[in-house]
Amino acid sequence: MNNVLVVGSVALDTLETPHGRADNALGGSATHFALAASRFAPVRLVGVVGKDFPREHIEMLKAQKIDVTGLEIADGKTFRWHGRFVGDMSRAETVSVELNVLATFQPKVPASFASTPFVLLGNASPDVQLAVLNQLKGPKFVMLDTMNLWISTQRAALLTLLPRVDAVCINFEEALQLAETTSGAKAVRKILDLGAKMLIMKRGEHGATLATRDGQFTSPSFPTDRVVDPTGAGDSFAGGTLGYLAQAGGEKDAIRKAIIYGSVMGSFAVEEFGTRRIQTVTREEIETRARAILDMLSV
Amino acid sequence: MNNVLVVGSVALDTLETPHGRADNALGGSATHFALAASRFAPVRLVGVVGKDFPREHIEMLKAQKIDVTGLEIADGKTFRWHGRFVGDMSRAETVSVELNVLATFQPKVPASFASTPFVLLGNASPDVQLAVLNQLKGPKFVMLDTMNLWISTQRAALLTLLPRVDAVCINFEEALQLAETTSGAKAVRKILDLGAKMLIMKRGEHGATLATRDGQFTSPSFPTDRVVDPTGAGDSFAGGTLGYLAQAGGEKDAIRKAIIYGSVMGSFAVEEFGTRRIQTVTREEIETRARAILDMLSV
């Protein structure tokens, strides 16, 4: 069984959407990713929380086959994010951010995790991501996430990382920003020209595109009409993709199916606040949606 | 050979984009549609122009297998539109519109066109579209286009048309407006609930979705990175779709492939100002892009 390692943020979120509000919900990109990936493969998590982090969340993660040996409990408070989605919920407004213990976090990959074959370098500064990459021993497939902040402030460092990983997984707007263009098609070519071996470009409810020098694949999103909270949809997409790829042993022809499973996990993630829906989704429910997407792709 | 009938606008456009400017370019939704559809099947056009309409455009349309028996040359000036695309060119700014002879146009379908099997009711007021529908004799497949203006001002009349046609072909924003929602997935269900037998929802560079009560299909757009002028892309998409469907004899299993050919024609349309690219594209170029999209869909 291939393991998946994720290094990233664990948070307590306050979430407001047109459908209600959740206070101190379990969040963070590593959390959403890990829960989605754990549906397919055993997951190892490296992150940091504060002394205020509820014990029940740790128990829940453990119960979901997630190894939290690498979850440091530091002096101080857990990273907190307060976000608000209005209107069509296409963008989050950040009401407040408290980095807390995340501000000075230097991830240490436990020796027992160093040889994990499938790895997500979760959203962090390129320097931190590079430091994590240098702790890995012969990974089979490394996926890189990033965000608008690093694209604009740490561009050079980010560009040196691109050729060193197997895939960069970002959303459409981030891809445009990274490629300095307003066209998705141009962004794809430019990012491959910048040295990325594979680009996974998330288009929200319009689907996702996988691109390499050999060709492209596009999966539609699963058309759920129950969007309660978009938080974590992109992380759950990445978790479903990398989790499925690990389950399939990383074979090259599994990557297109992996994108479909990513889309499925993203569609479940939005149906409840925080991680609730991903915590309860069954493999049977996942397969039903994967079959629906396969049908949407068949000519 | 199955014919295609289009009833809609013929225009002289002034177009400004970040790539330049074209004055008095041949335009109009029926023109873009007809030229795209003519790559697949013989096309009949019903529309109106003024005495100022250049004879060379009429000769060009004729040379492209388009029957212009139904193109009325009325006293007055041709419909003119001046549009400007800025930034990412995702939306046109209308600089000016002169309806001219289009203002009072009541389309008359020539007797020789009345039994055409494949029909596009081009963008016009629902009353005008209904009057055209009532002149048709046993059409096999009628596709309806509309726009934000009619959705907001002629909603009731438009809703009575939906169940009377075989497909409604609109863009994503129009679908949200028609369904009074901010979710694409909800819009699809609502529009089917409103009585549409088939919805074709154009997502611009994110592709297009075909939806019926039996299921959905999504085609990616062909990722051209040469977007010079988006004018007519949606009309060319509709022309490619209905033209291919006519060529295939309207068989139910041809509709998914038809959407792919629509996407291909939309991708060519944007590569030059006005109708220039669609006028010169070869069937071989079309097939090359159709194969590329099929590869983007294969799992």
User: Rounded distance, CA B234 to CA B240, Å?
Assistant: 10
> What average pLDDT is seen over chain B?
96
User: Rounded distance, CA B148 to CA B45, Å?
Assistant: 24
Q: Closest approach of chain B CAs to the CA of A207, in angstroms?
A: 8
Are B129 and B107 in contact, with CB atoms under 8 Å apart?
no
Q: Do B257 and A299 touch (CB under 8 A)?
A: yes
**Residues A192-215: tens digit of each pLDDT:** 999 999 999 999 999 999 999 999
Query: How does residue B143 score in pLDDT terms, banded at 50, 70 and 90?
Result: very high
- The partner residues of A194 in beta bridges, in order of sequence, read none
**Residues B119-140: tens digit of each pLDDT:** 999 999 999 999 999 999 999 9
Quick check: B65 contacting A, CB < 8 Å? no
Residue B145: DSSP 8-state: -
**Residues B167-183: tens digit of each pLDDT:** 999 999 999 999 999 99
Residue A44 belongs to domain with CATH number:
3.40.1190.20
Q: Do A206 and B185 touch (CB under 8 A)?
A: no
User: Rounded distance, CA B158 to CA B129, Å?
Assistant: 9
Q: Do B205 and A183 touch (CB under 8 A)?
A: yes
Q: Do B215 and A296 touch (CB under 8 A)?
A: yes
Chain A, window 87-146: residues with a beta carbon less than 8 angstroms from a chain B beta carbon: 87-89
Quick check: B253 contacting A, CB < 8 Å? no
Chain A, window 167-186: residues with a beta carbon less than 8 angstroms from a chain B beta carbon: 182-186
Query: How does residue A291 score in pLDDT terms, banded at 50, 70 and 90?
Result: very high
User: Rounded distance, CA B94 to CA A110, Å?
Assistant: 60
> What average pLDDT is seen over chain A?
96
Contacts of A184 in chain B (CB under 8 A): 205-206, 223
Q: At a CB cut-off of 8 Å and minimum separation 6, what does A27 contact? A: A10, A11, A12, A13, A15, A81, A231, A232, A274, A275
Which helix (H) or strand (E) segment is B186 a member of?
A: helix B184-193
Q: Which two tokens stand for residue B38?
A: 């003519």
Are A221 and A206 in contact, with CB atoms under 8 Å apart?
yes
Q: CB atoms < 10 A from the CB of B128, how many? A: 18
Nearest residue, CB atoms, B299 vs list A184, A227, A260: A260
Are B147 and B171 in contact, with CB atoms under 8 Å apart?
no
Tell me the ipTM for this assembly.
Answer: 0.91
Handedness of CA B106, B232, B4, B51 (dihedral sign): positive
Strands B167-171 and B215-219: unpaired
Residues of chain B with pLDDT > 90: what percent?
A: 96
Are B254 and B118 in contact, with CB atoms under 8 Å apart?
no
Contacts of A218 in chain B (CB under 8 A): 207, 218, 220, 296-297
Average pLDDT over residues A248-274: 95
User: Rounded distance, CA A90 to CA B112, Å?
Assistant: 50
- The partner residues of A200 in beta bridges, in order of sequence, read A169, A210
**Residues B19-29: tens digit of each pLDDT:** 999 999 999 99
Which helix (H) or strand (E) segment is B32 a member of?
A: helix B29-37
Q: Do B189 and A215 touch (CB under 8 A)?
A: no
pLDDT at B251: 86
Chain B, window 258-277: residues with a beta carbon less than 8 angstroms from a chain A beta carbon: 260
If you measure CA to CA, which chain A residue comes closest to B255? A299
Average pLDDT over residues A169-182: 97
Whether the per-residue pLDDT at A1 is higher than 90: the answer is no
> CB burial class (10 A; 0-12, 13-18, 19+) of residue A69?
exposed
**Residues A57-93: tens digit of each pLDDT:** 999 999 999 999 999 999 999 999 999 999 889 889 9
Contacts of A223 in chain B (CB under 8 A): 184-185, 188, 216
Contacts of B203 in chain A (CB under 8 A): 206
User: Rounded distance, CA B146 to CA B249, Å?
Assistant: 25
Contacts of A227 in chain B (CB under 8 A): 183, 185
Structurally, chain A folds into a number of domains equal to: 1
**Residues B194-235: tens digit of each pLDDT:** 999 999 999 999 999 999 999 999 999 999 989 999 999 999
User: Rounded distance, CA A22 to CA A37, Å?
Assistant: 24
Whether the per-residue pLDDT at B90 is higher than 90: the answer is no
Domain holding B30, by residue range, is: 4-84+92-297
